[in-house]
Amino acid sequence: MSIFDELKATGAPMSNNCSDLYVEITPATTIIINAYEYRRNVTRFMNEVTFKSNYDIPFAYDYKKLGEL
């Protein structure tokens, strides 16, 4: 299962910009990110619309699943 599929299964709000996947920080998403092989590449940012913290996971958006967010 890909990181995209694992995070999607949590039900946390997700979006993307090109190949980068954005997901809201929750206890469930944090567990997945902490176990992620490339977690050192993951950064955090504040969503300026929702004012909630999000993870930015580079190259994690799955283009094969367009429209599933």
Q: Over the stretch 6-57, which tens digit does the pLDDT of each residue have?
A: 999 999 999 999 999 999 999 999 999 999 999 999 999 999 999 999 999 9
Rounded Cα distance, 3 and 32, in Å: 8
Task: Place 67 in a pLDDT band, splitting at 50, 70 and 90.
Answer: low
Residues 12 and 47 sit within 8 Å (Cβ to Cβ): no
Reference 31, options 6, 51, 56; nearest CA is 6
Quote the pLDDT of residue 26. 98
Quote the pLDDT of residue 66. 63
Question: Which pTM was predicted?
Answer: 0.89
